[in-house]
Amino acid sequence: MDPWRRLIPLSVATSSSSSSSSSSSSLILLLVFFSHSSSSPPTLPQPFDEAYSPLFGDTNVVRSDDGKSVRLLLDRYSGSGFISSNLYKYGFFSARIKLPSDYTAGIVVAFYTSNGDVFEKTHDELDIEFLGNIKGKKWRFQTNVYGNGSTSRGREERYTLWFDPTRAFHRYSILWTANNIIFYVDEVPIREIIRNDAMGGDYPAKPMSLYATIWDASDWATSGGRYKVNYKYAPFVAEFKDLVLQGCPVDPIDQYPSGQCYNNLALLEAQDFSSVTTQRRAAMRRFRQSYMYYSYCYDTVRYAIPPPECVIHPSEKERFKETGRLKFGGSHKRRSRRRGRIPMVVEEQPVM
């Protein structure tokens, strides 16, 4: 059976006339998506000690006895993080993650690939960064892409989620091939970048390691630094399990995969999750309409001409100001009160 299920839209009615009705709708969505957050990844997870090692804050990297999960802690003394034992030239990187709850302002939990330790001035990077918030406010997250040291040309997008990421584990994934990059939340693709010649070196192409970190970013993470980390609520704990690495380990100097690696990469690109099907594209469009609140592609103050990989959708563009932010104050509250369709997954029948 295909381990990634087919995506279809689900119609869900919401109402602004009753807080209980709104709460019920939120609960329905949470239950629907929670049921899918435990679906099988495309390849078997690897035990922590076989594929990863602590990056910093070693005493705050707490591994489970069976080696299948790890907790990253942030306290007043240190954050923490881990790194893959190898660098990979293209691959699929995935984990089920549960974020800290309560007051989390100023905190960043990151799941990303990078080669900054090897190529300091020309590094590549693919980011999923979760941004904490004050008590009672939602976690937000952003994705970003850097290629060949193009840090002055950030390609970030920011979103909210359709579930509470502190109550249950959900799978977050990065697919990176020679042709495209896809960010996933559970089985929903939320962003795709298709490589083209105009991108040149801005497309990440050098071997990268996988990282996961939790750290104090009080100077920018919440309301531009207005709200800081409050260590009265420490330790802050981010939990990771079912970590997946699918790709080929590559020497960062020669950068040439072995023959077996070429076979593995061809197999990776042939996987169901390596392309955005018609159903998945509808789900991705629905996610972006409902939960994306900033996109660099629509930030004409920053980029008078959109970067070459941007695909401008007129219906999407009209929702954003020239700063790339939503016209409705950066919030989706107005939109969420309307009748909408939320992307979900349904199980396929096994292929005999």
Active-site option among 125, 157, 192, 309? 125
Task: Give the Cα separation of 100 and 107 in Å (integer).
Answer: 9
d(CA 161, CA 38): 17
Question: Is-contact 188 116, C-beta < 8 A?
Answer: no
CA-CA distance, 151 to 184, in Å (whole number)? 23
Is 50 catalytic? The answer is no
Q: Cα(197)–Cα(165) distance, rounded to whole angstroms? A: 37
- For this structure, is 125 an active site residue? yes
In whole angstroms, how far apart are CA 157 and each of 102, 145, 153, 326? 25, 10, 13, 12
Find the catalytic residue in 129, 157, 192, 239.
Answer: 129
Distances in whole angstroms, Cα of residue 134 to Cα of each of 22, 79, 166, 311, 330: 22, 19, 14, 34, 16
Tell me phi and psi for residue 340, to 5 degrees: -140, 170
Half-sphere exposure of 216 (CA within 13 A, CB side): 15
Give the helix/strand (H/E) hosting 112.
Answer: strand 107-114
For 106, 107, 136, 141, 276, the CA distances from 227, given in Å and listed in that order, are 6, 10, 14, 16, 38
List the Cα angle 84/86/92 in 5-degree steps: 70
Neighbours of 160 (CB within 10 A): 16
Specify whether the backbone of 272 is left (phi greater than 0), alpha (psi in -120 to 50) or beta. Answer: alpha
Whether the CB-CB separation of 129 and 112 falls below 8 Å is answered with: yes
Q: Are 95 and 184 in contact (CB under 8 A)?
A: no
- Catalytic residues, which ones? 125, 129
